[in-house]
Amino acid sequence: MAVNVRRELEMVARLQHVDSQLKDLELEKGDLPNLVNKLNDEIDKRETEVKELEDRLAEIGKQKRSNDGQIQLLRMKLEKYKEQLYTVTTNREYDAITAEIDTARGQMESLDTSQKALIEEENLITLQISDLGDRTDEVRSELGERKGELGSKQEETEDEENRLMHDREKLAVRIKKPILAHYERIRQARSGIGAAHIDRGACGACYAVVPPQRQAEIRKMEDIILCESCGVLLLPEAEHLDMESELATGVSGES
């Protein structure tokens, strides 16, 4: 057999070890990265809301100016009609002008009503914008704090993370592709665990019992054996594996 299974399994075991350390570092940062993203989203959302409200305010302003213009015109018209009333000579003329006056007054009233509604809406929106502004400021200051925390946590762990990432890359290129692919697929599905040692006769990932015959095969390391229950690559107990020598000579020291 061309593939040295023992060697593959030892490298997979090391890779799992590195991945577990990387995951611990991730956990140390806790919910902070998530929280920072959430706060950013919230600020974006509020800024969009404010923008929409401001657009509506601009529209209201336009509408109000147009109403004002029409009201001015109607006022002038009414003045003119009233003057004309003094100079009418017939009832028909009088009726015609009073009808015009009524129409103009009706139009003025409806413009007034619309104007009042617009002003009310304008006041409400102005309040909403100022409210949103206050809340956005609060979120911004929280975001600032959280970013600061995250930054210092990242600084603390950066070196170790880089070192582990480097080890990870070195190991990953040396593991046979199908084995690595299986490991990665299971690791992603099982929140970080793609390979597990047998632990007191059970799979170290899902604790399903591994029959003694199977355990013996796993310890021989002649075949890749998967947990029938959760799919992880099963590794013998740590003492059966050489976890150090090749890492020292082959991985960390290779660059």
Contact residues for Zn ion, defined by CB under 5 A: 203, 205-206, 208, 227, 229-230
In whole angstroms, the minimum distance from the beta carbon of 206 to Zn ion comes to 3
If the CB atoms of residues 19 and 167 are measured against Zn ion, the closer one turns out to be: 19
In whole angstroms, the minimum distance from the beta carbon of 181 to Zn ion comes to 18
Three-state SS at 209: strand
If the CB atoms of residues 195 and 205 are measured against Zn ion, the closer one turns out to be: 205
If the CB atoms of residues 33 and 231 are measured against Zn ion, the closer one turns out to be: 231
Which of 239, 235, 240 has the alpha carbon at shortest distance from 198? 235
Report which residue type is found at 115: Q
Question: How far apart (Å, rounded) are the C-alpha atoms in residues 6 and 221?
Answer: 5
In whole angstroms, the minimum distance from the beta carbon of 208 to Zn ion comes to 5
Strand order through the sheet with 233-235? 202-203, 195-199, 233-235
Whether 165 and 15 have beta carbons less than 8 Å apart is answered as no
If the CB atoms of residues 175 and 186 are measured against Zn ion, the closer one turns out to be: 186
Q: Which two tokens stand for residue 46?
A: 């509020």
In whole angstroms, the minimum distance from the beta carbon of 48 to Zn ion comes to 46
